[in-house]
Amino acid sequence: MRRARHWLVVVAGLGLAGCDTTAEIPGELEPVQAEPLTVRTAPVRLDRVRSDLRRGAVVGTYEYRFARCYPYRQDLYWGEDPLDSVTAGWARVAHEKLAALGVTVPHASRALFDDMARDSRAAAYLLGGVVTDLRLRACAGVNMMSGEPAERQSGVGRITVRWQLYSTRRRAVVYRATTSGAGRVRRRRREGVAAIAREAFLDSLARLTTRADFRAAVRRPDGQQPTLSERVAGGVPKRLAKVVPLSDTPVREQVAALRRSVVRVAPDRRRGGGFFVTPRLVLTRAQVVRGASAVTLQTSDGTRLRARVLRKHAERDVALLRTRDGDGRPLPIRTRPVASAATVFAVTKPGKPDASIAVAAGTVRSGRGRNRHGMPLIQADFDAAAGSAGAPLLDATGNVVGLAASGGGKPGSGAATGFIPIRDALARLDLGGGPPAGRAKGVGAR
């Protein structure tokens, strides 16, 4: 009889441990049922979540209800168990939530507000959230056999999050909003308190996506690309290829003059080349200036210039810089695709102080190469080391037809050197090169 009574108590305890909670969410707020967006958005990544709450601040309480909730302490404290580092895992589930709500989401990255995404789709916008308020009411179960806490909780909560939307192209916050969210865990579960806070955060995120101004901010199909009506101030031409007339002088006769046209780009330990397309604008690879808003340029005579990063395109790996001062010699640009078997010239020493500029002659291959994003490359064979990343590729008369996608292959290795077609580079930077990866015949076009 005693054994039967013992099991009766255990069964009763298990039944109570599974009871749901009917507590009202603080502030009379209920989770929203957000409708997914029907218009394609630019890629958005939740990049940063932090809290303005003071560690140790009281953010909630454990309730007592007869035969249901057994609090072993009164208060819940921010930053302490079970709310220790709870925001760390919110980014992953938030990306899943955004995707379910119809927002275009790139693969998760650990980079914080870094516009050079390393995944297959660069984020056009980075979303950050700051938790400014959190209120929880939790119900803790009890192990009826031992009398100890059952490590399972249910409950309700409300959160307030201040949001910022960061444009990776403009390098600025372009949208701000504050939303509240409600969370509810009806049946007690392990780490239930953390789950309540997480559900409230996801609800505040869902409410953000229902705002008309947020949807308008991320609605553009490709947020990386500036439109004609959103020019960067400072004299950026609409059609860069028309700034300098095409040249008909053989490259061998222009080698000395190239010293004033090419530069070295050295933001940190990464180094690469670049070249002037106007007296103050420089083209280079985006990887060379990754994560930097300003870089140092070094000309062939040793002059150092500061330059601001105006535009980037991560997948095409090109960037446009503008110097504060300087009087560079711009190179003419030819956007017509270069033909196979054509002779081309690659600069091998861009901007190295006290050294003459050297160029290597090569021949364009008939096959088309691709970068890791599937974008076209000009492939050429050279007898000498060819090209420093970002340096120009010239046709036989000194017109730019591409820029080096890497530091060049080893002579005699059989590996071709890859170059970004200038036509596609300008198009991706919205500088009038024509449609991106156009259909014109020839190497470097799809």
The reply to whether the predicted model has a pTM over 0.95 is no
Among the CATH numbers 1.10.260, 3.30.1560, 3.30.160, 3.20.20, which is that of 16-217? Answer: 3.30.160
Most confident of 73-77, 100-104, 197-201: 197-201
Residue 280's CB is within 10 A of a number of other CB atoms, namely 20
- Residue 143, C-beta contacts closer than 8 angstroms, at least 6 positions apart: 13, 149, 150
Q: Confidence band (pLDDT; 50, 70, 90) for 229?
A: very low
Cα–Cα distance between 429 and 331 in angstroms, integer? 17
Q: Confidence band (pLDDT; 50, 70, 90) for 209?
A: very high
Q: How far is CA 93 from the centre of its chain?
A: 18
- Range 152-158 average pLDDT: 90
Count CA atoms closer than 13 A to 181's CA, side-chain side. Answer: 27
- Range 224-252 average pLDDT: 65
> Token pair for residue 354?
């006290």
Q: Which residue has the higher pLDDT, 158 or 300?
A: 158
Domain ranges in the chain? 16-217, 237-428
167-200 core/surface letters (b: 16 or more CB in 10 A; e: else) = bbbbeeeebeeebbbbbbbeebeeebbbbbbbbb
Q: Confidence band (pLDDT; 50, 70, 90) for 47?
A: confident
- Residue 17, C-beta contacts closer than 8 angstroms, at least 6 positions apart: 141, 142, 150, 152, 188
- Could you report the per-residue pLDDT of 348-406, keeping only the tens digit for each? 766 555 556 778 899 999 877 888 878 889 999 887 666 678 889 999 999 999 999 86
- Could you report the per-residue pLDDT of 165-207, keeping only the tens digit for each? 998 877 788 899 999 999 999 888 888 899 999 999 999 999 9
Q: Which residue has the higher pLDDT, 413 or 215?
A: 215
Contact call for residues 321 and 311 (beta carbons, < 8 A) = no
Q: Which residue has the higher pLDDT, 409 or 166?
A: 166
CA distances from 190 to 139, 141, 168, 419 (A): 12, 10, 39, 55
Cα–Cα distance between 169 and 232 in angstroms, integer? 10
CA distances from 63 to 27, 150, 278, 376, 429 (A): 17, 15, 69, 63, 58
Cα–Cα distance between 384 and 314 in angstroms, integer? 29
Contact call for residues 49 and 63 (beta carbons, < 8 A) = no
pLDDT of the residue at 288 = 86
Q: What percent of the chain has pLDDT over 90?
A: 28
Q: 179: closest CA among 157, 195, 158?
A: 158
Cα–Cα distance between 408 and 387 in angstroms, integer? 5
pLDDT of the residue at 57 = 92
Domain made up of 237-428: CATH architecture? Beta Barrel (2.40)
Residue 77's CB is within 10 A of a number of other CB atoms, namely 18
> Token pair for residue 44?
């958005």
* Number of helical H runs and strand E runs in the chain: 5, 19
Cα–Cα distance between 408 and 341 in angstroms, integer? 18
My answer on whether omega of the bond before 43 falls inside 30° of 0, hence cis, is no
Contact call for residues 352 and 264 (beta carbons, < 8 A) = yes
- Range 31-45 average pLDDT: 84
Residues forming beta bridges with residue 313, ordered by sequence position = 318
pLDDT of the residue at 216 = 87
Q: Which residue has the higher pLDDT, 249 or 142?
A: 249
Statement: residue 412 has pLDDT above 60: no
